[in-house]
Amino acid sequence: MMIARRTILVLAVAFLGTLVESTYHSRPLVPSNVKVFPTARAEDQAFWYAEAQNEIAQSLARTENNNVAKNVILFLGDGMSVATITAGRIYKGQQLGQSGEEYKLVWEDFPDLAMIKTYDVDRQVPDSASTATAYLCGVKSNYYTTGVDSSVKLEDCMSVTEESKLSSIAVWALEAGKRTGFVTSTRVSHATPSALYAHSASREWECDASLPLGTALRCPDTKDIARQLIEDYPGSDFNVIMGGGYSCLSGDAVETPGDPINLEYGCVRADGRNLFDQWTINQEAKGRRHAAVRTFTDLKAVNASDVDYILGVFANDHVAYEHLKRELNLDMPTLADMTEAAISVLQASDAGYFLLVEGGRIDLAHHDNLANTALDETAAFDDAIRRALSLVNTEETLVIVTSDHSHVATINGYPHRGQDITGFSGIMDDGLPLPTITYTNGPGWIGSYVVDENGNAARRNLTDDDVTSYDYVHSAGALRYSETHGGDDVALFAVGPMSHLFQRTHEQSFIAHAMAYAACIGPNLDHCAQP
């Protein structure tokens, strides 16, 4: 009897599977309002054979570059998961009128590739400050802390000691006589750049107004992150500082030219300091050739040969999304513009330089489930890397492209080749369309579901939604005010001296040590003296 029941169950499941499969294949998968980009090339058997032979020839022709890296540029796409790279590739290809899948972002042709493990000492899924501490300082740490080791606990200022403070790749470069700096599309005191110069038990302590009450009594030596950037070494010696976050530097946040979007931000200085002006005073006191700029117009007016130090703060909060710069004609540089200006200042040094370039708003768009904006920011990140590669020689410059962590966006459904990556993937079993990119959690849960007459939650019909808009909040499976990071490994791409150090799955902290080894600085200062 038991065997008979089991046989009947198996047959029933098999029948239902056949029925579902038949129904699935008969259903029209592409909604009528979805744009499809054509495939321009003939992809027959001969095409794919030729494609493979070409790849083999390129691999066989490759030789390792064992030069010492005079310069190191680390491009960090914040939150740029593997799914984001794939979708970003298709997005940019489709912007050029291609079907998209065959397109390559510029770093995808780099010869060396590795996978990077992103977990924290205390978390499976990390944040951007702890990850920055790993790849910039070479030490993994606790969630939400920056520039300190794991002996420092979150928001515990008393646990920050001199022994817990870490040196970054920027310090190692300065000690070797190199120029240093960073460019970011976030605030200059934000998580990613902070690990270059700051030591803090919380990444949120960006200005004095964000410090917990009583900090001055319990930890009188604690400085907010913005003060550490302007007042303390190594930030005070950076040749290039560019990004947003004027409100963290000055309480006079409403007077930011070129930025009509973010007139105020929550962390506005309360101590009366104007650190932007203080930077200029400090440079003049040291007799340095310098420039402090607030707009793209000002930046373009700077002759790089006339300055050795430049501070550019172009927004009160984060630098505006790239699509807003275009649509509103903002007097604000693109990430590519900032990158070019930074390299122009840094490359004047015969000793070389280290530069961090962060495409930080990829991450922030994902947090708001703004998938289309995240892809547009990825395209702008690609533009910045292309601009940099046109200015440097990879025989002497190590260029690395990677991410700090992933996000919970996924490319799903069964969209046809060339189908708009920002549109619908197809019709699901409930008869409703599904956006090709969706999130497992985030604010997109609101508006994605309705309650039926029986009080049950059901997907809302999105057919009439403009899912291709930059402002469109994509669907999410669970509600959260801000979408979470993902715990997946991230990809790393490298070209230039010693790029072959990256060749397998590595701990994130390995990145800082590999850069130092390639440039013969910091912990690897002496290895270049060996035969």
**407 CB burial (10 A radius; 0-12, 13-18, 19+):** buried
Neighbours of 264 (CB within 10 A): 11
**Rounded Cα distance, 212 and 49, in Å:** 63
Residue 500, marked binder? no
Is it the case that residue 361 has pLDDT exceeding 80? yes
pLDDT of 31: 67
Residue 405, marked binder? yes
Residues 6+ apart with CB under 8 A from 150: 121, 122, 139, 140, 141, 142
Listed residue (229, 238, 232) closest to 179, CA to CA: 238
Is it the case that residue 242 has pLDDT exceeding 70? yes
Residue 78, marked binder? yes
State the pairing for strand pair 179-187/353-359: parallel
pTM: 0.93
Residues 6+ apart with CB under 8 A from 395: 65, 67, 496, 497
More confident residue, 268 or 127: 127
**Rounded Cα distance, 143 and 131, in Å:** 8
| Angle between helix 510-519 and helix 128-137 axes, rounded to 10 deg | 30
Residue 363, marked binder? yes
Helix (H, G, I), strand (E, B) or coil at 473: coil
Write down the CATH number for the domain with range 71-408+489-529: 3.40.720.10
Residue with tokens 């495409």: 359
Is it the case that residue 191 has pLDDT exceeding 50? yes
Residue 192, marked binder? yes
pLDDT of 431: 92
Positions marked catalytic:
128
**11 CB burial (10 A radius; 0-12, 13-18, 19+):** exposed
Helix (H, G, I), strand (E, B) or coil at 36: strand
- 79-103 pLDDT, tens digit per residue, is 999 999 999 999 999 999 999 999 9
pLDDT category of residue 34 using cuts at 50, 70 and 90: confident
**Rounded Cα distance, 81 and 76, in Å:** 11
Query: Is the Cα dihedral 390, 391, 396, 402 positive or negative?
Result: negative
Residues 6+ apart with CB under 8 A from 500: 64, 65, 111, 112
Residue 109, marked binder? no
pLDDT of 531: 55
**Rounded Cα distance, 342 and 101, in Å:** 32
Q: Chain-wide mean pLDDT for the chain?
A: 92
pLDDT of 350: 94
- 384-436 pLDDT, tens digit per residue, is 999 999 999 999 999 999 999 999 999 999 999 999 999 999 999 989 999 99
Domain spans of the chain, in order of start: 71-408+489-529, 426-483
Percent of the chain with pLDDT over 90: 83
Alpha-carbon torsion angle 461, 465, 468, 474, nearest 10: -50
What are the structure tokens assigned to 128, written together? Answer: 């951007």
Residue 485, marked binder? yes
Q: Angle CA(27)–CA(33)–CA(34) in degrees, nearest 5?
A: 80
What are the structure tokens assigned to 169, written together? Answer: 């790749």
